[in-house]
A = this chain, B = another copy of it.
Amino acid sequence: MSLTVVGSIAFDAVKTPSGVRERMLGGAATHFALGASFFDDIRVVGPVGDDFDEDAWRVLRTRGTITDDVEHVPGGKTFFWKGEYHDNLNSRDTIETDLNVFEGFEPKLSDAARACHVLFLANIQPDLQRGVREQCTGARFVAMDSMDLWIKIARESLEATIRGVDCLILNDEELELLTGKPTVLAAAQEILGWGPTAVVAKLGKYGAALYTAEGVFAVPAYPLETVVDPTGAGDSFAGGFVGYVAAQRDEDITHDLLSTAMAYGTAVASFNVEAFGTERVEQLTAGEIAERVVDLQRMTSFSAEPVALRG
């Protein structure tokens, strides 16, 4: 039993107010795996090229992540992304996107990858996501990410894919765009009617919120004095969140279980943004994650004892 993730493996070049990196391991599946590897055996499905060197394999295999399903495309080059963040880190410009081996990517799952008990579909073309989902018939929890591009150019396929998963994870603006609803709550309620039992709104530096039939849960981002590189924060969050669910294999996947999973995802993501790329999460320890989860609980607790009010 293991957690399978399908998505991009990339080299990133990133410039932020804190500095520059010309080439470091990135991609949604990478950031997800680094975070999820604290919780379960992770199998990564995604393509790489001839330039995928020993150091990249080493990083991807952090904490035992299984790379048997990483497809090496001979003669190909690994997906490359170059981006630059603006002063407040709220927005970024993409300088260059070379899809390379990712362009013709058709996920091929080994029997072991198909036999996963939990599946995460990182942001790729929704037809491909749906194809993978349909192969993993034994998965007890399937979560997916997406992006505004697919909402705009492949809405029908995206909706069909969403109908087949347990949990949709999107930015708040994407949820509103997808549903045409004016608030995240209304958007999430709409999507809960399509099939998923859980919707997670990623709120960037403001945290994340969970919506299920049982209600709403919200957790703030872990407060940091400096954010070095936000790249991969959402995928790190998903890694901690989905990883936590995968680790609780004997528990029912309830609203409360997912709420705790949100706190783990938030903790993992907070370390991701403290350094460029995977630099911080590579070095991360289980104890550091647990500490921030406890911190988050303290930072959100308050007394609701009744007080006398007028009127």
Contacts and interface: CB of A to CB of B under 8 A. Distances in A.
A185 B294 contact: no
Interface string A55-70: 0000000111000000
Nearest to A221: B218
Interface residues of A, number: 64
A92 to B, nearest CB: 15
Given A185-B224, A309-B290, A260 B219 contact: no
Contact of A299 (B215, B220, B296): B215
A310 B37 contact: yes
B219 A310 contact: no
Contacts of A203: 206
Nearest to A41: B310
A176 B176 CA distance: 28
Given A176-B88, A263-B304, A299-B216, A209 B223 contact: yes
Contacts of A296: 304
B310 A227 contact: no
A182 B89 contact: yes
Contact of A185 (B209, B223, B263, B310): B223
B224 A183 contact: yes
Contact of A311 (B37, B87, B88, B306): B37
A223 B216 CA distance: 8
A87 B290 CA distance: 41
A281 to B, nearest CB: 10
A17 interface: yes
Interface of A: 17, 37-39, 62-64, 87-89, 176, 182-186, 189, 203, 205-207, 209, 215-220, 223-227, 244, 247-248, 256, 259-260, 262-263, 284-286, 289-290, 293-294, 296-311
Given A219-B302, A259-B302, A289-B309, 15 more contacts: A17-B182, A37-B311, A38-B310, A63-B311, A183-B205, A183-B224, A185-B224, A186-B226, A206-B206, A206-B207, A217-B299, A218-B300, A259-B303, A286-B310, A286-B311
16 contacts: A88-B176, A89-B182, A182-B227, A183-B226, A185-B223, A186-B225, A189-B225, A206-B207, A215-B298, A217-B300, A218-B220, A220-B220, A286-B309, A286-B311, A289-B309, A294-B304
